[in-house]
Amino acid sequence: MLEFIYQSGWGAFTMLLLFQIPFLLVFLTVIYRKAYVDTSASTITDAKISKLRGGWLTLVIALFLVINIVGIQYIPAIYTAKAANSSVAAVDVAIEAQSWSYDMSVREFEVGKPVRFNAVSLDTVHGFAVYHPGGRVLFTMMLVPGVGESSLIYTFNEPGTYKVRCLEYCGAAHHEMSDEIIVTEASS
């Protein structure tokens, strides 16, 4: 389910529509009631309006807090720090990005074994994006020089040849900045 939402344009579109349904329902209910059910002038009191407004404000504030508190762990800097300190037994890969290529300590991985990508940029801002053999982006990191390592843990679940590409414009040969990762079937 999460895979569908994150990796398909239709997933994102569906979510967007789902979020709009409650608003659409309220809108249509009000129109319908004022047109057919009770067409007289509104008799709602100021006190009731103020109560409704208070309720709405509380709901918005609560949603704001929940979304931010739940979402904070997905902020790249937090995610990176967590991956770097994670005690998960992962294969560590050291990556150095430099115009316009990557230096990677390991390029071959196994299905099902977590890999911790630890990447730095030596000159300018570069990206490190890994593409599924089918062409979609699995993840991307933005590498900023001078701020230390960015880390991310990823577990491949299909064997194949995965392309690595830079997704941050970094100069004349940016479009040629790519590499390959081989993922093999689990050995045991």
Residue 9 to residue 176: CA distance in whole angstroms: 26
Shortest distance (Å) from residue 33 CB to Cu ion: 56
Show the site string, 54-93: x = touches Cu ion by CB under 5 A, - = not: ----------------------------------------
Of the candidates 127, 100, 113, the one whose C-alpha atom is nearest the C-alpha of residue 183 is 113
Q: How far is CA 186 from CA 67, 108, 156, 159, 163, in A?
A: 38, 12, 10, 9, 20
Question: Which distant-in-sequence residues (6+ apart) come within 8 Å of 108 by Cβ?
Answer: 181, 182, 183, 184
Shorter beta-carbon distance to Cu ion: residue 99 or 153: 99
Query: How many residues at the interface with Cu ion, by CB under 5 A?
Result: 4
Residue 130 to residue 46: CA distance in whole angstroms: 57
Shorter beta-carbon distance to Cu ion: residue 95 or 177: 177
Shorter beta-carbon distance to Cu ion: residue 11 or 98: 98
> Which 129-188 residues touch Cu ion, going by CB under 5 A?
166, 170, 174, 177
Shortest distance (Å) from residue 51 CB to Cu ion: 55
Shorter beta-carbon distance to Cu ion: residue 104 or 170: 170
Shortest distance (Å) from residue 169 CB to Cu ion: 6
Biggest alpha carbon distance in the chain?
75
Shorter beta-carbon distance to Cu ion: residue 83 or 170: 170
Cβ pair 114, 90 in contact under 8 A: yes
Q: Is residue 113 a contact residue for Cu ion (CB under 5 A)?
A: no
Q: How far is CA 108 from CA 39, 181, 182, in A?
A: 71, 6, 5
Shorter beta-carbon distance to Cu ion: residue 100 or 113: 100
- Residue 55 CA from chain centroid, whole number: 32
The contact set with Cu ion (CB under 5 A) reads 166, 170, 174, 177
